[in-house]
Amino acid sequence: MTELSATHFLLLSAALFIIGMVGVLTRRNVLVIFMCIELMLNAVNVSLIGFAWELHQLTGQIFALFVIAVAAAEAVVGLGIVMALTRRTDTVDIDELRQLRE
Partner 1 sequence: MTVQVLVFWLLALVAILGALGVVAARNPIHSAIGLVLSFLNVAAIYLIARAEFLAVVQVIVYAGAVIVLVVFVTMLVHPDDLPEFHGRRPLRIATGLVLGLALLAEVSAAILAHGLRGTPGPWTDDTIAAVGGNTRALGQVLYSDFMLAIQLTALLLLAATIGAIALARPEAVSERLAAARRVMTISLAHPRGLDQPALPAALPEPQNGRVKEAGGGRPIVLARTADEFTEQPAWGEWRAR
Q: Which of residues 24-53 bind partner 1 (CB under 8 A)?
A: 25-29, 31-32, 34-36, 38-39, 42, 45-46, 49-53
The answer to the question of residue 97 lying near partner 1 (CB under 8 A) is no
Given 44, 81, 98, 101, the residue binding partner 1 (CB under 8 A): 81
Cβ distance to partner 1 smaller for residue 1 or 102: 1
Residues touching partner 1: how many (CB under 8 A)?
75
DSSP state of 101: T
Among residues 69, 97, 99, 101, the one that binds partner 1 under rule CB under 8 A: 69
Long-range contacts from 40-47, C-beta under 8 angstroms, 24+ separation: 40/16, 41/67, 41/70, 41/71, 41/74, 42/16, 42/71, 43/12, 43/13, 43/14, 43/15, 43/16, 43/17, 44/13, 44/17, 46/9, 46/12, 46/13, 46/16, 47/9, 47/10, 47/13, 47/14
In the bound complex, what is the minimum distance in angstroms from residue 39's beta carbon to partner 1? 6
59 binds partner 1 (CB under 8 A): yes
CB of 74 to partner 1, least distance (A): 8
